[in-house]
Amino acid sequence: MKQSIKQKNEGLDLIEIAPNAKPPVCKIMDMGKYKYDAQKKANKAKKKQKKIELKEIKLRPVTEVHDYSFKIKNAQKFLAKGDKVKFTIRFKGRELQHSNLGNELMDKIKADMETIGRVELQPKFDGKQMIMVIQPL
């Protein structure tokens, strides 16, 4: 009897932990503090979480060597940071008839990226563009 009066004075709550157990399990604790600690723990776990982004690099089948090397260098930076890279080759007009140029460019990209990443989504046509996704190793 004395203990229950003491608990009321301290502001503690009777919390049912396992209602389906025989007999039901209850715990005497401060519910506000429990919720606060649980939220702090969740925020700390969320802060440590690494969010992977998808960076997109757009090319054309007739992209020049300097532009290509610049974009590949950026893609390597993205992969080093842990982000995925989506390569998109856009075809305009009659370029669609020369899809082999896009395939050759995708093969060249695969060869340049094999040391730092691996292909997650193989090159495929999606309307007037060709798409490939590379993820870090």
Confidence of residue 90 (pLDDT cuts 50, 70, 90): very high
Say what the pLDDT of residue 89 is.
92
Is the predicted pLDDT of residue 2 greater than 70, yes or no? no
Task: Please indicate, yes or no, whether residues 106 and 60 belong to a single structural domain of this protein.
Answer: yes
For the residues 111-118, what does the mean pLDDT come to? Answer: 88
Task: Please indicate, yes or no, whether residues 43 and 76 belong to a single structural domain of this protein.
Answer: no
CATH number, domain at 14? 3.10.20.80
Task: Please indicate, yes or no, whether residues 75 and 123 belong to a single structural domain of this protein.
Answer: yes
CATH number, domain at 108? 3.30.110.10
List of residues 6+ apart from 17 with CB closer than 8 A = 25, 26, 27
Task: Please indicate, yes or no, whether residues 76 and 120 belong to a single structural domain of this protein.
Answer: yes
- Contact present, 78 and 85 (Cβ < 8 Å): yes
Q: Count how many domains the chain has.
A: 2
Sign of CA dihedral 58, 64, 80, 78: negative
- Contact present, 79 and 115 (Cβ < 8 Å): no
Is the predicted pLDDT of residue 87 greater than 80, yes or no? yes
Q: Which domain holds residue 14?
A: 2-47
